[in-house]
Amino acid sequence: MKDAIFDDFIDRLRSESDIVSIVSDYVALKKKGKNYWGCCPFHNEKTPSFSVTPDKGFFYCFGCQSGGNVFNFLMKVESITFFEAVKLLAKKLNIPMPEKEKSPREQARDQEIAKIYQVNELARDFFHSCLTKTNYGKPARDYLTSRGITAECIDFFKLGFAPPFWDKLSSAFSERGITLDILLKSGLCAARTSGDGVYDRFRNRIMFPISDVRGRIVGFGGRVLDDTQPKYLNSPETQVFNKRQVLYGIESAYKPIRDLGKVVIVEGYLDAIMLYTHGIKNVVASLGTAFTPEQARTLLKLNNLNTELLFSYDSDAAGQNATLRALNTVRALGAAIRVVTIPDGKDPDEFIRKHGSAAFEELLAAAQSLLDYQLDQALKSDDYSTVQGKIAVVGKLAPILAEADNAVEINAHITRLSQILAVDESALRSEITKYIVQLKKDKNVKNGKTINIAFLYKQPAPAVVQAERQLIRLMCDDLSLVPYVFAKIFPQEFQGVLQQEIINLIFNAYNMEKNITQAELNTVVNSLSEKANNEFSHIMLMEIQFEDVVKLVDDCIKTIRLAHLTTLYEQHRLMADELERMGDSSFLQELAESQRIKHEISKLHH
């Protein structure tokens, strides 16, 4: 299937699909005015803020800012890829998919991946039978019973047992015609170091099947019953298993995570299983390894990047260190993070078995913010009754507070720390300021700046955002306006990051064709980032009233250009002041540029 054929097929699906009908399979919609409204399927709400516009073919939620076209909706609601959404929509419309011509190499790879999924599923059933139906599995059954795992729980999670033999699985599978090559590529077996043949990778271990969000078995985790090392053993990297991306329990938890907008992250398989069976269903485990940015992104995407992450690792020293590592991993992603503190040095599994789900829910409700947790950990690490202890604590806390971005929260913590440490507030602020100055300096060096000046990023004014949105909407409603706007303004003059991405896409499409059509616009919109796609849907649902479209376009362009020039003027003026203060004569060039820009602003005003 050539790209052009596929693009034509996408256009056909889009034109023949009724977005209201498709969305109605998942959401109860009522018509109000030109649009349809219902409760958003991507976050909990009682008052409908989810809107579908049939004439434009877009949806948008004014609560969680999720939006897009019919393909985006299916991708979000079904947690599937774009290609899978295309196949699903084609099935719903009863339109056959065009067949793609694959090379022999692609066909062989697809067949190999299908065989790996198949052999993993057979292995899951093999291990499960060994646990539940053989004498080999009795010690494992006894162990699981002692940990509070019931027979129903074993069956639901398809827990298993790898017999204590070197070739039990490989021999059984070879007799069923499964090749040694597939056993090796699935990671279930390893090659012998001497001679031919393979041996079973998992032996005498309780087996935890690991699935992807679609329920396909991608790998396994095995736990020993004694003190053998390693205690846990995961499948090696394969074509379908990457432990940096996979989360245990995601196939059962992804819908509760989306419904609740939050996820509880634990370390171990049994932690996840016990919480799930006690009613905490929005729980996943990080496979007993360090939490990764890839795992974080997987969870954040489930709720349009708005998923709240609650870390509930063991409360012993190792668990706290793992928590801090995980927090450092995801902090840069801008995620909402809280930390669940479990009393008495217990892990989630032990706590919920002893105290029940209601008590654990109370721990979740009392979870600390990232900053609170970091500060408490720093206070616990040193004896701050001594001068040296106070210095050590402040040395740990100052950089943490310097990186925080909420002024109210920072001030509250400074006041609190001043009282706890019996240190003057001004002294604390002085230490924090040193780190802030250093952070700015580091950022300037990273960005190639040679002077110590940092321009604070300002959010565009509401009037500017409105002008940018209106201009985009007017062009999309009447594509004949695109050449006119293209000649009047540059994308760099847009202050909104998302609006700039959208206008860039429209202008690039115009540059390529010089006569952009609605079909071409609909096609290129699919290449927007998720956030820009949501913003585009919001724009397409806006109500705009006007009498003279050209006058409104000119007014929007003027508002955008004035805001852009004003920002440039401030930057060059501040740069001139800083250079003059440093005795650098090049401040005259900056000053001249700022005056030139000021003249441009005056001309626009008049």
Residues 337 and 472 in one domain: no
Residues 136 and 88 in one domain: no
Q: Are 90 and 97 in contact (CB under 8 A)?
A: yes
Residues 468 and 589 in one domain: yes
Highest mean pLDDT among 100-109, 259-268, 377-386: 259-268
Residues 397 and 433 in one domain: yes
* Contacts of residue 31, Cβ cutoff 8 Å, sequence gap at least 6: 37
Q: What is the pLDDT of residue 1?
A: 42
The closest alpha carbon to 503, from 520, 515, 486, belongs to: 486
CATH code of residue 119: 3.90.980.10
Residue at 535: amino acid letter: E
Residues 116 and 180 in one domain: yes
- Sheet of 67-68, strand order: 30-32, 35-38, 50-53, 58-61, 67-68
Task: Note the pTM of the prediction, 2 decimals.
Answer: 0.65
Q: What is the pLDDT of residue 450?
A: 39
Q: What is the pLDDT of residue 389?
A: 84
- 359, pLDDT greater than 80: yes
CATH code of residue 514: 1.10.860.10
Can you give the residue range of the structural domain that contains 87? 3-92
Q: What confidence tens digit (pLDDT) does each residue in 465-519 have?
A: 999 999 999 988 888 888 889 888 888 889 888 898 899 888 888 877 656 777 7
Residues 425 and 483 in one domain: no
- Residue 317 pLDDT class (50, 70, 90 cuts): low
CATH code of residue 23: 3.90.580.10
Q: What is the pLDDT of residue 430?
A: 77
Give the Cα separation of 183 and 189 in Å (integer): 6
Residues 213 and 320 in one domain: no
Mean pLDDT lowest for which of 16-30, 250-264, 497-511, 574-588?
574-588
Residues 427 and 532 in one domain: no
Is residue 97 in some structural domain? no
Is residue 496 in some structural domain? yes
Residues 469 and 589 in one domain: yes
Q: What confidence tens digit (pLDDT) does each residue in 275-297 have?
A: 999 999 999 998 866 788 888 88
- Residue 459 pLDDT class (50, 70, 90 cuts): low
Is residue 239 in some structural domain? no
The phi and psi torsions of 232 (rounded to 5 degrees) equal -115, 140
Give the Cα separation of 183 and 136 in Å (integer): 22
Is residue 535 in some structural domain? yes
CA distances to 270, 315, 323, 325, 426 from 266, rounded to whole Å, are 9, 11, 10, 14, 40
Residue 116 or residue 375, greater confidence: 116
- 379, pLDDT greater than 80: yes
| DSSP 8-state secondary structure symbol assigned to residue 236 | P
Q: What is the pLDDT of residue 277?
A: 94
Among 234, 263, 289, identify where a domain stops.
234
Q: What is the pLDDT of residue 314?
A: 80
Is residue 375 in some structural domain? no
Half-sphere exposure of 29 toward its Cβ, with a 13 Å CA cutoff?
Answer: 24
Calculate the CA dihedral of residues 445, 446, 447, 453 and round it to 10 degrees: -40
Mean pLDDT of 123-127: 97
Q: What is the pLDDT of residue 453?
A: 38
Q: What is the pLDDT of residue 448?
A: 40
Residues 437 and 476 in one domain: no
Q: Are 251 and 212 in contact (CB under 8 A)?
A: yes
Mean pLDDT of 37-56: 87
CA distances to 8, 22, 89, 129 from 19, rounded to whole Å, are 19, 5, 10, 46
Q: What is the pLDDT of residue 125?
A: 97
Provide, rounded to the nearest whole percent, the portion of the chain with pLDDT above 70: 91
Q: What is the pLDDT of residue 437?
A: 61
Residue for token pair 């066909």: 107
Q: What confidence tens digit (pLDDT) does each residue in 529-552 have?
A: 888 888 898 898 888 888 888 899
Taking the CB of residue 167, how many other CB atoms lie within 10 A of it?
A: 15
- 318, pLDDT greater than 80: no
Highest mean pLDDT among 134-138, 389-393, 492-496: 134-138
Give the Cα separation of 38 and 219 in Å (integer): 39
- Residue 145 pLDDT class (50, 70, 90 cuts): very high
Provide, rounded to the nearest whole percent, the portion of the chain with pLDDT above 90: 37
Is residue 18 in some structural domain? yes
The closest alpha carbon to 186, from 257, 132, 251, 241, belongs to: 241
Buried b (16+ CB within 10 A) or exposed e, 419-443: eebebeeeebbebbeebbeeeeeee
Is residue 245 in some structural domain? no
Q: What is the pLDDT of residue 513?
A: 65
The phi and psi torsions of 592 (rounded to 5 degrees) equal -60, -40
Residues 149 and 268 in one domain: no
Q: What confidence tens digit (pLDDT) does each residue in 400-442 have?
A: 787 776 677 788 888 888 888 888 888 788 788 777 666 654 5
Q: What is the mean pLDDT of the chain?
A: 85
Q: What confidence tens digit (pLDDT) does each residue in 66-101 have?
A: 888 999 899 888 878 888 889 999 999 999 888 767
Helix (DSSP H) and strand (DSSP E) numbers for the chain: 26, 16
Among 234, 264, 279, identify where a domain stops.
234
Residue at 279: amino acid letter: G
Is residue 60 in some structural domain? yes
Buried b (16+ CB within 10 A) or exposed e, 318-334: ebbebbbebbebbeeee
- 360, pLDDT greater than 70: yes
Q: What is the pLDDT of residue 455?
A: 39
Total structural domains within the chain:
5
Mean pLDDT of 220-232: 90
Residues 306 and 404 in one domain: no
Q: Are 25 and 73 in contact (CB under 8 A)?
A: no
